[in-house]
Amino acid sequence: MQDPGWTDPACPVARTLDLVGDRWSLLVVRDAMDGARSFTEFQRRTGIARNILTDRLRKLVAHGLLAQRAAPSGRRQEYVLTDAGRDLFPVILTLRQWGERHAFAPGEAHSTLVDRHGVRVPEIVPAGADGARLDAESTLVRKV
């Protein structure tokens, strides 16, 4: 992978945002998790301009979050999540759950994420080794 010129080389959050921190990249990853595979599907689901989608797909492939492979028809390429891309699931889930709490008016309709049995996915709650709930007040960053 080519050095993208890290915003803050020692910070994992900054490096992650350098890779996937724009709106379109995360929406492409979200849709890949929801089964989108083709350029056309990503464009239809997001409404993204073709040139921007082309750029984001290239970037996600270059950084190892998506891989290209021949579609079953053999006529086109499709995009699939790599292990690194699938590892973004908890990030997308946490953003979704934050949005459910803070981006909608009470009672406003929105999509929900359910497991394969149709049961709503429970809220992610970070916990320490002792099981205690973690938040910004109970953690600190150890700088290098």
Residue 43 lies in a domain: yes
List the domain range (segments joined by +) for residue 29.
12-86
Residues 4, 107: Cα–Cα separation, whole Å: 42
Question: Is 26 among the domain residues?
Answer: yes
Structure tokens, 87: 């590892």
Does residue 91 fall inside a structural domain?
A: no
Tokens 């973690």 belong to 134
Residue 40 lies in a domain: yes
Token pair in block for residue 18: 């350098």
Residue 4 lies in a domain: no
Please list the pLDDT of the chain residue by residue as tens digits (144 residues).
455 688 888 899 999 999 999 999 999 999 999 999 999 999 999 999 999 999 999 999 999 999 999 988 888 999 999 999 999 999 999 999 999 999 999 999 999 999 999 999 999 999 999 999 999 999 999 998
Per the structure, the count of domains in the chain is: 1
| pTM listed for this prediction | 0.88
Q: Is residue 117 a part of any domain in this protein?
A: no
Rounded-to-integer distance, Cα 124 and Cα 11, Å: 23
- Identity of the residue numbered 141: V
- Whether 61 maps to a domain, the answer reads yes
The CATH number that applies at residue 62 is: 1.10.10.10
Strand stretches in 12-85, DSSP E: 66-70, 77-81
Q: How far apart are CA 2 and CA 91, in angstroms?
A: 24
